């Protein structure tokens, strides 16, 4: 049994929490662990039987049937998710906005539902005040929309909400802004001197990585720009001199141990002469484990880095999935000691995602460990890509691609056969699968 | 799908295992057939996660007189895909393939740019194929990912089906597992006098994207010789070709001389100047003829005795001096 407290877009006020506390303590039956976020502390919440949902414009309170302990159980006909960790969620869309003449074109990455939720539609919130309140319009299950009839010279602020089939908001994106502009007047014939400079085509990126980490932006898989995130993990960068058209941008970073985050890709249509803003980039946490094999019943340390004070959800995949939650410290570092008692003696994998101020990152890369009869400490994680780095320069880029492409559908030399065995799938040839592996480990 | 297979297996072994006698005692044959059909239809119609490569055209009715465009798109059906390959198949007698364009493609790097393989051109087969393969580092998820466009000219009236074969879409999972693929052919009706939309090349006044070429060397290819790699995109009409120029620059004071010719080539390109004393220029040309040139400055400078310009000047000076001396001597006489 549990209470589920979900604050979707708006922050909970003290009054709201007062109300929640009253709700919680008035049906006091069993103590549970304290539940906190940067905004509130919920002490000794009650685990009880029942199911209801209360809501106001600023909060939602769920109660549902569950078990007396945190965890998850499943059968062929139901999944019961219990504890204060579990309520439907989805990854935050990365939103881009391009201003035009009296209009703004918006596009966003698809939000991926988790814990049983499925994204069914999106609503676009619009406001002329930063932070809202927003006027929401349902745009259906699409990843782009154009807002027309806007006033040139006025800055508009937009957010995108991913919603489930019941029209409940699962997640809201970071705010993005754009200022529509009238087109520059065409230079008149004759005359001379002066001239009108054509506006620059530019894209501004902002989001969160890890404190002080180097953030790399790839444009169509090629290195475009690097920057360093601030102590709060926020970063900003700009790219100009672009043509109008469709681009695939990718962002990744490295944590303080030099471990790379996975690439976060998003497709953006850049409009010639317009300034496009991309907000809400939220890179997944890195992850590592201290043991490659752990004796059943002993703890395994799962650690990594994200943004400071983020709430990290760690999933351990087994026949049944185990969800655990831990807060990152002021440097974004997290550590969770997972008790392997409930795990079967076999190979398992774990991955993590982060949530901060209503935004949710995608899951990062998974790492594997074995539960067995002995404990073997893991070697330090490789800072260089473990696969596809053909020329061993710690990058997977156009040079590795070109060397590999040379051997595409050819008989391999003795030397390259060794490389193929060590750094690709080891089937003795270079084909699409090897390029798929390369695309996964790509660093640009 | 596994369930559907199981049901088909049961139906196939209907008589062998005696189910027909048992069931016919319980239900009439017509009811049994209806039940089996319904179950099979339900099973096969169950939603299965499958990506597809599909086509887009302005109309399925095309004119015999005008060239027309068929777009090729990727729907990943919610999956993250990072590598793709396949063939586009079309009837040779009905359609003439003019060219392709890929401006704005989601493919970051083409392993095989969409083209008709040489062997297929010579074959007497009724169909022609266009092969393609490429990768998207980091993966792509979406329902309308633009891959490329094919420009056709219809040859004769009738029906023409453009479809795919040997498709492979790989999941972005680090091991290259294949995604399930669903086919979505395009059926065209070719008629005379249809007022369809004629293909006109898009206006493209912009040069290809800026890019960074690299010079590298590996014992694994080209016998360890230095080679050049490069790649860029053009958001308008797409890249048509690349040219490379290696140019040794001779300089004495303010006098400068350089020579080197442009060679049409592809990446990777084995450098002629393995001493890396030439400035290397790479020209990317789009299908509208716009050019972008990037340069790599020579890694090493010429030694003094390799500077032909200096020798030419010295020779010139000696020659002029000699001639002057001869003239001076003859004038003195």
Contact A338, A356 (CB under 8 A): no
pTM: 0.76
Q: Are B209 and A220 inside 8 Å of each other by CB?
A: yes
Q: Based on the fold, state whether residues A137 and A172 are members of the same structural domain.
A: yes
Q: Based on the fold, state whether residues A154 and A204 are members of the same structural domain.
A: yes
- A278-305: burial string, b at 16+ Cβ within 10 Å, e else: bbbbbbbbbbbbbbbbbeeeeebebbbb
Residues in chain A, total = 444
Nearest to A147 by CA among A180, A110, A194, A182: A180
Where in the sequence is the domain holding A31, given as residue range(s)?
A: 2-87
Taking the C-alpha atoms of residue A226 and residue A444, their distance in angstroms, rounded to an integer, is: 11
Taking the C-alpha atoms of residue A436 and residue B140, their distance in angstroms, rounded to an integer, is: 12
Taking the C-alpha atoms of residue A156 and residue A134, their distance in angstroms, rounded to an integer, is: 10
Interface of B with A in 16-75 (CB under 8 A): none
The residue to which tokens 């003696």 are assigned: A345
Residues in chain B, total = 333
Give one DSSP letter per residue of A177-194, joined into a string.
EE---PPPPPPPSS--SS
Q: Which of B206, B218, B220 sits opposite A243 (nearest CB)?
A: B206
Q: Please give the structure tokens belonging to residue A406.
A: 């040379």
What single DSSP character describes residue B15? T
Report the CATH number of the B51-191 domain. 2.60.40.680
Task: Estimate the share of chain B in helix, then strand, then coil, as percent rounded to the nearest 5.
Answer: 20, 40, 35
Q: Based on the fold, state whether residues A130 and A249 are members of the same structural domain.
A: yes
Q: Which of A242, A263, A405 sits opposite B111 (nearest CB)?
A: A405
Q: What pLDDT was estimated at residue B264? A: 97
Q: Which of A282, A302, A331 delimits the end of a domain?
A: A282
Q: Based on the fold, state whether residues A336 and A365 are members of the same structural domain.
A: yes
Q: CATH number, domain at A316?
A: 2.60.40.10
For B188, residues 6+ apart whose C-beta sits below 8 A from its C-beta are B57, B60, B61, B62, B95, B154, B159, B160, B161, B162
User: Torsions phi, psi of A22, nearest 5?
Assistant: -60, -45
Interface of B with A in 138-197 (CB under 8 A): 138-142, 145-146, 168, 170-176
Task: Work out the burial of residue A10: count CB atoms within 10 Å of its CB; fewer than 13 is exposed, 13-18 middle, 19 or more buried.
Answer: middle
Nearest to B147 by CA among B127, B161, B160, B132: B132
**Which CATH fold topology does B214-302 show?**
Immunoglobulin-like (2.60.40)
Q: Which of B137, B170, B218 sits opposite A403 (nearest CB)?
A: B218
pLDDT averaged over every residue in chain B? 84
Q: Based on the fold, state whether residues A356 and A411 are members of the same structural domain.
A: no
Closest residue, chain B, to A270 (C-alpha): B235
Contact B164, B87 (CB under 8 A): yes
Residue B173: pLDDT over 50: yes
Through-space distance between the first and last CA atoms of chain B, rounded to whole angstroms: 110
Q: Is B118 helix (H, G, I), strand (E, B) or coil?
A: helix
Domain range list for chain B: 2-45, 51-191, 214-302
Taking the C-alpha atoms of residue A102 and residue B99, their distance in angstroms, rounded to an integer, is: 38
Distance of CA A31 to the CA centre of its chain: 33
Q: Which of A242, A265, A408 sits opposite B140 (nearest CB)?
A: A265
Phi-psi region of A107 (alpha: psi -120 to 50; beta: other; left: phi over 0): beta
Measuring CA to CA, how many Å separate A314 from each of A212, A303, A380, B89, B271? Answer: 23, 9, 20, 47, 50
Strands B67-75, B214-217: pairing kind: unpaired
Mean pLDDT within B25-30: 45
Q: Is A187 part of any domain?
A: no
Q: Are B109 and A244 inside 8 Å of each other by CB?
A: no
Mutate to test the interface with B, among A242, A262, A417, A440 (most CBs of B within 10 A): A440
Mean pLDDT within B310-315: 85
Residues of A in contact with B137 (CB under 8 A): 218, 221, 250, 263, 438-439, 442, 444
Same fold, B51-191 and B214-302: yes
**ipTM for the whole complex:** 0.78
What confidence tens digit (pLDDT) does each residue in B107-153 have?
999 999 999 988 766 667 789 999 999 999 999 998 899 999 999 99
Taking the C-alpha atoms of residue A365 and residue A387, their distance in angstroms, rounded to an integer, is: 14
Q: Is A211 part of any domain?
A: yes
Residues of A in contact with B138 (CB under 8 A): 218, 221, 248, 250, 262-265, 439, 442
Task: Estimate the share of chain A in helix, then strand, then coil, as percent rounded to the nearest 5.
Answer: 10, 40, 50
Q: Which of A224, A257, A282 delimits the end of a domain?
A: A282
Residues of A in contact with B103 (CB under 8 A): 245
Q: Please give the structure tokens belonging to residue A145.
A: 């929309």
Asked if residue B7 has a cis previous peptide bond (ω within 30° of 0), the answer is no
Contact B181, B89 (CB under 8 A): no
Taking the C-alpha atoms of residue A311 and residue A85, their distance in angstroms, rounded to an integer, is: 10
Q: Are A439 and B135 inside 8 Å of each other by CB?
A: yes
Closest residue, chain A, to B80 (C-alpha): A265
Residues of A in contact with B140 (CB under 8 A): 248, 265, 267
Q: Based on the fold, state whether residues A137 and A151 are members of the same structural domain.
A: yes
Q: Is A389 part of any domain?
A: no
Asked if residue A387 has a cis previous peptide bond (ω within 30° of 0), the answer is no
Q: Based on the fold, state whether residues A418 and A310 are members of the same structural domain.
A: no
Q: Based on the fold, state whether residues A275 and A210 are members of the same structural domain.
A: yes
Q: What is the 3-state secondary structure (H, E, C) of A276-342?
A: EEEEEEECCCCCEECEEEEECCCEEEEEEECCCCCEEEEEEECCCCEEEEEECCCCCEEEEEEECCC
Per-residue pLDDT of chain A (444 residues; tens, 9 = 90+): 334 333 443 344 444 444 444 444 433 344 455 666 666 666 665 554 455 566 666 666 665 544 444 555 555 555 554 444 455 678 889 999 998 889 999 999 888 877 667 888 999 999 999 998 999 999 998 889 999 999 999 999 999 999 988 888 889 999 999 999 887 765 554 444 444 455 678 899 999 999 999 999 999 999 999 999 999 999 999 998 888 889 999 999 999 988 899 999 999 888 888 889 999 999 999 999 999 999 999 999 999 999 999 999 999 987 778 889 999 999 999 999 999 999 999 999 999 999 998 899 999 989 999 999 999 999 887 778 989 999 999 999 999 999 999 999 899 999 999 999 999 999 999 999 999 999 999 999
Q: Are B140 and A267 inside 8 Å of each other by CB?
A: yes
Contact A58, A10 (CB under 8 A): yes
Q: Based on the fold, state whether residues A114 and A99 are members of the same structural domain.
A: yes
Interface of B with A in 223-252 (CB under 8 A): 227, 229-236
Taking the C-alpha atoms of residue B224 and residue B216, their distance in angstroms, rounded to an integer, is: 9
Q: Are B82 and A436 inside 8 Å of each other by CB?
A: yes
Q: What pLDDT was estimated at residue A69? A: 47
Q: Please give the structure tokens belonging to residue B265.
A: 């080539």
| Least confident segment among A176-180, B48-52, B101-105 | B48-52
- A105-115: burial string, b at 16+ Cβ within 10 Å, e else: bbbbbbbbbbb
Element (H, E) at B33: helix B29-45
Q: Based on the fold, state whether residues A17 and A83 are members of the same structural domain.
A: yes
Q: What pLDDT was estimated at residue B121? A: 66
Taking the C-alpha atoms of residue B271 and residue B246, their distance in angstroms, rounded to an integer, is: 8
Q: Tell me how many domains chain A contains.
A: 4
pLDDT category of residue B171 using cuts at 50, 70 and 90: very high
Highest mean pLDDT out of A225-229, B2-6, B298-302:
A225-229
Strands A275-282, A202-208: pairing kind: parallel
Q: Are B219 and A407 inside 8 Å of each other by CB?
A: no
Q: Are A245 and B103 inside 8 Å of each other by CB?
A: yes
Q: Based on the fold, state whether residues A167 and A26 are members of the same structural domain.
A: no
Contact A6, A84 (CB under 8 A): no
Q: Based on the fold, state whether residues A258 and A123 are members of the same structural domain.
A: yes
What confidence tens digit (pLDDT) does each residue in B179-217 have?
999 999 999 999 887 777 778 888 888 999 999 999 999
Q: What pLDDT was estimated at residue B34? A: 41
Sign of CA dihedral A66, A70, A73, A77: positive
Contact A395, A444 (CB under 8 A): yes
For B224, residues 6+ apart whose C-beta sits below 8 A from its C-beta are B217, B218
Mutate to test the interface with A, among B137, B203, B215, B233 (most CBs of A within 10 A): B137
Count of C-beta atoms within a 10 Å radius of residue B55 = 20
Taking the C-alpha atoms of residue A125 and residue A139, their distance in angstroms, rounded to an integer, is: 10
Residue B7: pLDDT over 60: no
Nearest to B152 by CA among B144, B162, B167: B162
Count of C-beta atoms within a 10 Å radius of residue A343 = 22
User: Torsions phi, psi of A375, nearest 5?
Assistant: -115, 125
């Amino acid at each position: 049994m549990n209470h589920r407290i979900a604050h979707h877009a708006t922050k909970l006020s003290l009054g709201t929490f007062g109300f929640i506390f009253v709700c919680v303590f008035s049906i006091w039956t069993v103590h549970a662990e304290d539940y906190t976020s940067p905004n509130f502390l919920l002490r000794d919440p009650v685990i009880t039987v029942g199911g209801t949902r209360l809501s106001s414009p600023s909060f939602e309170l769920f109660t549902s049937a569950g078990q007396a302990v945190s965890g998850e159980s499943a059968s062929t006909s139901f999944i019961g998710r219990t504890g204060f960790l579990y309520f439907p969620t989805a990854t935050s869309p990365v939103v881009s906005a391009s201003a035009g003449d009296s209009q703004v074109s918006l596009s966003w990455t698809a939000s991926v539902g988790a814990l049983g939720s499925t994204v069914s539609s999106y609503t676009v919130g619009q406001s002329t005040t930063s932070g809202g309140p927003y006027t929401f319009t349902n745009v259906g299950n699409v990843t782009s929309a154009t807002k027309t009839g806007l006033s040139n010279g006025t800055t508009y602020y937009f957010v995108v909400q991913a919603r489930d089939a019941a029209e409940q908001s699962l997640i809201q994106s970071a705010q993005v802004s754009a200022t529509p502009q009238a087109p520059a007047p065409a230079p008149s014939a004759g005359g001379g001197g002066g001239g009108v400079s054509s506006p620059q085509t530019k894209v501004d990126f902002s989001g969160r990585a890890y404190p002080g980490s180097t953030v790399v932006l790839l444009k169509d898989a090629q290195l475009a720009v690097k920057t360093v995130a601030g102590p709060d993990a926020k970063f900003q960068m700009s790219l100009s001199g672009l043509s109008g058209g469709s681009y695939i941008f990718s962002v990744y970073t490295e944590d303080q141990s030099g471990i790379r985050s996975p690439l976060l890709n998003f497709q953006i249509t850049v409009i010639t002469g317009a300034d496009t803003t991309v907000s809400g980039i939220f890179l997944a946490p890195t992850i590592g484990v201290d043991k490659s094999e752990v004796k059943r019943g002993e703890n395994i340390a799962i650690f990594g880095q994200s943004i400071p004070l983020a709430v990290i959800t760690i999933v351990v995949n087994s026949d049944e999935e185990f969800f655990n939650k831990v807060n990152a410290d002021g440097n974004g570092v997290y550590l969770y000691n997972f008790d392997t008692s409930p795990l079967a003696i076999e190979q398992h994998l774990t991955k993590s995602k982060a949530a901060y101020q209503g935004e949710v990152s995608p899951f990062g890369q998974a790492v594997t460990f074995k539960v067995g009869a002995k404990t073997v400490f893991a070697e330090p994680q490789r800072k260089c890509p473990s696969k596809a780095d053909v020329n061993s320069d710690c990058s997977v880029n156009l040079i590795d691609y070109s060397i590999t492409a040379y051997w595409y559908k050819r008989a391999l030399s003795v030397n390259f056969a060794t490389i193929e065995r060590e750094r690709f799938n080891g089937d003795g040839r270079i084909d699409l699968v090897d390029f798929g592996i390369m695309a996964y480990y790509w660093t640009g | 799908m596994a369930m559907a297979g199981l049901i088909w297996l049961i139906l196939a072994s209907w008589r062998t295992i005696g189910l027909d006698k048992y069931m016919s005692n319980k239900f009439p044959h017509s009811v049994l057939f209806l039940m089996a059909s319904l179950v099979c239809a339900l099973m096969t119609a169950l939603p299965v996660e499958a990506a597809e490569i599909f086509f887009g055209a302005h109309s399925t009715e095309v004119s015999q007189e005008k060239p027309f465009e068929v777009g090729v798109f990727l729907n990943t059906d919610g999956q993250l895909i990072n590598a793709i390959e396949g063939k586009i198949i079309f009837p040779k007698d009905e359609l003439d393939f003019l060219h392709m364009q890929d401006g704005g493609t989601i493919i970051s790097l083409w392993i095989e740019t969409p083209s008709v393989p040489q062997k297929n051109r010579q074959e007497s087969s009724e169909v022609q194929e266009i092969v393609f393969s490429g990768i998207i580092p980091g993966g792509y998820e979406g329902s309308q990912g633009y891959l490329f466009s094919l420009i056709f000219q219809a040859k004769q009236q009738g029906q023409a089906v453009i479809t795919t074969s040997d498709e492979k879409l790989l999941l972005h999972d680090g091991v290259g597992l294949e995604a399930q693929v669903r086919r979505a052919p395009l059926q065209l009706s070719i008629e005379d006098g249809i007022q369809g939309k004629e293909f006109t090349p898009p206006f493209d006044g912009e040069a290809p994207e800026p890019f960074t070429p690299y010079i590298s060397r590996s014992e694994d290819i080209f016998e360890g010789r230095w080679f050049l790699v490069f790649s860029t995109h053009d958001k308008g009409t797409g890249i048509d070709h690349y040219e490379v120029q290696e140019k040794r620059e001779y300089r004495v004071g303010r006098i400068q001389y350089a020579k080197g010719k442009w060679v049409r080539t592809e990446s990777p390109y084995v450098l002629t100047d393995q001493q890396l004393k030439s400035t290397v220029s790479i020209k990317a040309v789009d299908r509208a003829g716009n050019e972008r040139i990037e340069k790599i400055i020579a890694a090493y400078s010429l030694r003094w005795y390799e500077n032909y310009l200096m020798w030419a000047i010295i020779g010139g000076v000696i020659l002029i001096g000699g001639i002057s001396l001869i003239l001076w001597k003859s004038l003195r006489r």
